Structure 1
C-alpha cells in the first residue's frame, strides 16, 4: 500500500505553466525525495526548434549584465519574462568575484547594475527584473 509520499516520488509534479508569444514555460518537480528535491524548468518554442531545460535552482545564466541568474516567475507580455531578486542577494552578487570578473554582452548595463546595487539597503523590497526576448 502506498502512502502519499510514495506516490509523489513516482510522478512529475507541475508547478508553473505559462505561454508568452511563441514560447511555453513549464516548471515542474522531477524528484521529490526529501531532502533531495529537483525542480526543472523548460522553455520551448511552438514555431521553431528552440528548447532549453534548466535546473530551477540555477536559473538562466544572465550574460546580459552579469547580474544574478534569471528565475522566471511570470510574464508581462508576449515578449517579456518577469523575475525578481532580493535586495541583499543582488548586493552580495554585485560584490562577488564572479560578478567582478564577468564580461557581459552589455558592459554599460553592468555599470548600471552596480549603481543600483549600491543604492539599495539590505532590507529593501525585491528588485523586479524584466527580460525581453529576441524577436
Structure 2
C-alpha cells in the first residue's frame, strides 16, 4: 500500500471512529454514558452537559479530520481528548482497563495511529500540500 493511500485510510478510519462514537453517545446509546456518569455520582443537568458536549466534540473532531486544515493541531486535540477520557474512565472505574471489549485499552493503538497521521503531516511541506494531495 502506498504512503498516501495508507495516510488516507488512517484519516478516514479515525474520522469514522470519532463521528460514530459521537453519534452513538448522542443518539444510539446515551444511556450507557449516563450509567457510567452515575457511577461517578454525576447526574442531572451536569450529566446532560457531559454527554452532549462529549458527543458533539467527538463529531467535531471527526469532521475536522476530514478537512485538510491544521491537521497537526487536530492530532494534538485528539490525543488530548483521548487522554482526558481515559483518565476520567480510570478514576470512575479502573475496571474499564480489564473490560473484555477493551474500551480503554483500545486507546493505545488509536493514539499510535494518530501519531502516524501527525508525523505524516510533519513530513509534508505545508497544509497546502495536504490540500493538493487530498489528505
Give the TM-score, by structure 1 length.
0.29
Q: Which has the larger radius of gyration?
A: 1
More strand, by proportion: 1
- Higher relative helix content: 2
Higher relative contact order (CA 8 A, sep 6+): 2
